[in-house]
């Protein structure tokens, strides 16, 4: 089945619930469907929402080696609690090797971030897609999170995959309600003022007057690379 075919579903995804969008994806893509997680501030929502419908779905976790200690503990606890089929992928070059050979690339502006993300995020995700035989990808992006996400559709082709965004239209109140209704936790760093969490070196606390997207990568950009299509034929982005 072609990517283009699945990118235009007959069902009106705008008018149905997030749970029904996940159900549609499961029925449409079957074993080719994967879920990604960063174990970020609100990641428990997607992990719970999706695994209630597809308990055995492969969950891809790209571990850059630069995550907060709290993130690793949060990942461990949610994996145990939700019995996730977790598939962790790491860069082929260690953090120590990268810094010895190339320095701290995340400090070298947009071009440095591009190289950093290619090695630490995009290549591991490429590998995950190939090894798991993925054809479709569930992700937890929401329109309210950043200006780069306001016009996203619920389903779109992304190189070799179809990307589905079940909670795209949720706001923070809906996220909070879901977490509360299901007694699910936020990432522990939320209590310290973080509203978005990635690598420790590229994540800032939220300060009054800031836009949410400014808490990542020093405000230079919002996306880490995984959600920026390049037009290449494989997953690489």
Element (H, E) at 130: helix 123-132
Determine whether 224 is an active site residue: yes
Take residue 84 and report the two structure tokens written for it: 């996730």
Sole residue written with tokens 């795209």: 168
Number of Cβ atoms within 10 Å of the Cβ of 235: 22
Sheet holding 33-37, edge to edge: 85-89, 58-62, 33-37, 136-138, 161-164, 155-158
What's the CA gap between 218 and 201, in Å, rounded? 9
Q: Based on the number of CB atoms within 10 Å of its own CB, is 156 exposed (0-12), middle (13-18) or buried (19 or more)? A: middle
Catalytic residue of the set 224, 225, 227, 237: 224
Task: Please identify every residue annotated as catalytic.
Answer: 224
């Amino acid at each position: 089945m072609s990517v283009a075919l699945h990118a235009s579903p007959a069902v009106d995804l705008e008018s149905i619930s997030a749970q029904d969008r996940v159900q549609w994806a499961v029925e449409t893509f079957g074993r080719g469907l994967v879920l990604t997680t960063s174990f970020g501030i609100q990641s428990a929502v997607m992990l719970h929402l999706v695994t209630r419908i597809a308990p055995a779905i492969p969950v891809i976790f790209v571990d850059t080696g630069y995550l907060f200690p709290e993130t690793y503990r949060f990942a461990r606890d949610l994996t145990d609690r939700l019995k996730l089929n977790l598939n962790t992928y790491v860069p082929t070059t260690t953090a120590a090797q990268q810094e010895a050979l190339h320095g701290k690339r995340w400090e070298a502006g947009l071009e440095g971030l591009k190289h950093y993300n290619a090695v630490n995020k995009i290549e591991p995700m490429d590998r995950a897609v190939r090894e798991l035989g993925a054809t479709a990808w569930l992700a937890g992006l929401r329109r309210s999170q950043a200006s780069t996400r306001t016009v996203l559709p619920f389903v779109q082709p992304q190189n070799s995959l179809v990307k589905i965004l079940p909670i795209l239209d949720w706001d923070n109140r809906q996220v909070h309600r879901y977490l509360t209704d299901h007694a699910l936790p936020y990432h522990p760093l939320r209590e310290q003022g973080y509203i978005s969490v990635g690598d420790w070196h590229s994540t800032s606390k939220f300060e009054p007057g800031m836009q949410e997207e400014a808490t990542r990568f020093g405000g230079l950009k919002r996306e880490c690379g995984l959600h920026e299509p390049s037009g290449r034929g494989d997953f690489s982005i």
